[in-house]
């Protein structure tokens, strides 16, 4: 079996053991353990001046290789182009984009620095699997160094329609660089259509059959590989943790009220303001829910160095404060807002306690919280998932209550319906979703991707 080289912005280091690591990290680490190989990424450290050589750490058959970034390179690559340009663009938020040529150049320079490190470590038949929007240009940089290995890429976030992508200066070059991968994997069929449209309309690509394209003298295969979770493992974790001290503390504090739960990185793609407004709308229009529900939002702060994220935080603080001021009583506050990171097992227990899983992103590549919520439920008495149609997960979880995240009244109606839903309907919806999650796990996802990558023809020097 060919050795595997995984590249992602952050590396799932072995110290992040069982308790902390997310399901995706575990799935990728298992793939590395099976085949042996390398996991390459940024160390999370920035340095003044030139960074030193990469550091490596070996554990069994897996070697973790991390690079520091110069402060300036980090600003351009990570803060600037990846999170200031690509993230909002790919989530259809054109108004939030900042674009500077300097950032794009810095992004390419970091992709090139990674390519040099990787090229030095590669063996001829290694399979390379690159992750996410930080590395759209990595294959092109590797090809320039003469690398002919099979290179696969998976995008965790949505791929925008061609007409949206067109707003990005240099989009045609970026698309052609993506065509230097042998396989481009996306979360949904809808993302695949967008990518294919971009290749053909904006980068001169030509379809070969249904799932391959000829572009800039290379052949790239394209497919949908919706990310899954460790369904059974998460279900077990949730069942155990629901009886643990943290979950019991939450349950006691609810005093019999129904829990509506949201769990998201604090990000403007997640639709958090609309969610808070919907809770206020619910309590306004259906006064019978007053004092009978608690909305708990867990939203660990991420990317706090970006202006847009700080602005979002103030907006949410104000909205939560207003709803509580309007409806709270001496012994009840409708909204609880927690920006601390919660340990994974505790989170699983909380999800199991929730009568409603409230997941309303304005756009999301997949949204694993939606899947984790379903897996965490008690089969005898499951809660209801209220899920945005614009999350990739909605393509699979059709039996959730699907909502339009901008329609605050619609969200409130869905909450009312979920809270009042009879047991037999809750069970039927849950069973249908759970069947989908049992069929498409994280392990299945990585196997499907790697099989598809191995099935692409050996690369030819570019």
Based on CB atoms, which residue is closest to ligand GDG, 52 or 340?
A: 340
Select 83 or 149, whichever has its Cβ closest to ligand GDG. Answer: 83
Compute CA 324 distance to the chain's CA centroid, rounded to the nearest angstrom: 30
Q: Which of 225, 243, 210 is nearest to 345 (CA)?
A: 243
Is 364 considered catalytic here?
A: yes
Instruction: Output the smallest distance, CB 384 to ligand GDG, in A.
Output: 18
Stretch of 211-219, 246-254, 340-348, 432-440 contacting ligand GDG, by CB under 6 A: 340-348
Give whichever of 132 and 182 is closer to ligand GDG, judged by the CB atom.
132
- Please state, in angstroms and rounded to a whole number, the distance separating the CA atoms of residues 111 and 345: 35
Backbone φ and ψ of 55, nearest 5°: -105, 145
- 191 belongs to the binding site for ligand GDG (CB under 6 A): no
> Smaller CB distance to ligand GDG: residue 274 or 365?
365
Spatial separation of the C-alpha atoms in residues 163 and 194, rounded to whole Å:
9
The reply on whether position 316 binds ligand GDG by CB under 6 A is no
CB 169 to ligand GDG: min, Å: 24
Measured CA to CA, the distance from residue 429 to residue 432 in angstroms comes to 5
Answer yes or no whether residue 185 interacts with ligand GDG by CB under 6 A: no
CB atoms closer than 10 angstroms to residue 343: 12
Q: Minimum distance between the CB of residue 174 and ligand GDG, rounded to whole angstroms?
A: 19
| H/E run at residue 251 | helix 245-254
C-alpha–C-alpha distance, residues 437 and 229, integer Å: 8
Count other C-beta atoms under 10 Å from residue 60's C-beta. 9
- Indicate if the alpha-carbon torsion angle 287, 291, 293, 297 is positive or negative: positive
Smallest distance, Å, CB 387 to ligand GDG? 12
User: Is 91 among the catalytic positions?
Assistant: no
Name the one range near ligand GDG by CB under 6 A: 165-173, 178-186, 336-344, 433-441.
Answer: 336-344
Please provide residue 248's backbone torsions phi and psi, each rounded to the nearest 5 degrees. Answer: -65, -40
Contacts of 271 (CB under 8 A, 6+ apart): 360, 361, 362, 388, 405
Show the site string, 208-247: x = touches ligand GDG by CB under 6 A, - = not: -------------------x--------------------
**Which of the following is catalytic: 131, 156, 172, 182?**
156
**Which residues carry out catalysis?**
156, 364
Residues that bind ligand GDG (CB under 6 A): 22, 24, 156-157, 227, 263, 265, 298, 300, 341-344, 347, 364-369, 372
């Amino acid at each position: 079996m060919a050795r595997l080289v995984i590249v992602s912005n952050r590396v799932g280091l072995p110290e992040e053991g069982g308790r902390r690591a997310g399901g995706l990290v575990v799935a990728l680490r298992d793939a590395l353990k099976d085949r042996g190989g390398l996991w390459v990424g940024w160390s999370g450290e920035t340095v003044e001046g030139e960074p030193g050589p990469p550091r490596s750490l070996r554990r069994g058959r897996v070697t973790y290789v991390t690079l520091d970034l110069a402060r300036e390179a980090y600003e351009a690559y990570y803060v600037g182009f990846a999170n200031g340009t690509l993230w909002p663009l790919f989530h259809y938020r054109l108004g939030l984009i900042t674009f500077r040529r300097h950032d794009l150049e810095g992004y390419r320079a970091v992709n090139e620095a990674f390519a040099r490190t990787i090229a030095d470590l590669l063996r001829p038949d290694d399979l390379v699997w690159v992750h996410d929007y930080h590395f759209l240009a990595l294959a092109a940089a590797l090809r320039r160094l003469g690398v002919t290995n099979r290179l696969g890429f998976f995008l965790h976030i949505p791929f925008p329609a061609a007409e949206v992508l067109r707003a990005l200066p240099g989009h045609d070059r970026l698309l052609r660089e993506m065509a230097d991968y042998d396989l481009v994997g996306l979360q949904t069929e809808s993302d695949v259509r967008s990518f294919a449209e971009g290749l053909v309309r904006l980068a001169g690509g030509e379809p070969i059959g249904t799932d391959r394209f000829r572009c800039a003298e290379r052949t790239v295969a394209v497919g949908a590989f919706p990310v899954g979770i460790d369904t059974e493992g998460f279900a077990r974790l949730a069942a155990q943790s629901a009886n643990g001290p943290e979950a019991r503390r939450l349950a006691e504090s609810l005093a019999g009220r129904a829990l509506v739960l949201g769990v998201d990185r604090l990000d403007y793609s997640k639709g958090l303001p609309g969610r808070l407004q919907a809770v206020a709308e619910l309590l306004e229009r259906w006064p019978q829910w007053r004092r009978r529900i608690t909305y708990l939002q867990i939203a660990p702060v991420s990317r706090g160095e970006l202006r847009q994220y700080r602005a979002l935080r103030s907006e949410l603080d104000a909205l939560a404060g207003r709803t509580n001021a309007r409806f709270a009583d001496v012994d009840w506050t409708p909204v609880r807002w927690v920006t601390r990171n919660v340990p994974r097992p505790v989170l699983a227990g909380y999800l199991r306690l929730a009568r409603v899983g409230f997941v309303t992103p304005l756009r999301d590549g997949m949204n694993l919280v939606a899947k984790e919520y379903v897996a965490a439920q008690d089969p005898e008495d499951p809660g209801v998932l209220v899920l945005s149609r614009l999350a990739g997960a909605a393509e699979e979880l059709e039996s959730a209550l699907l909502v339009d995240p901008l329609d605050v009244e619609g969200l409130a109606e869905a909450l009312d319906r979920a809270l009042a839903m009879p047991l037999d309907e809750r069970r039927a919806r849950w069973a249908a979703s759970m069947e989908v999650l049992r069929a498409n796990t994280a392990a299945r996802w990585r196997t499907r991707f790697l099989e598809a990558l191995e099935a692409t023809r050996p690369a030819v020097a570019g």
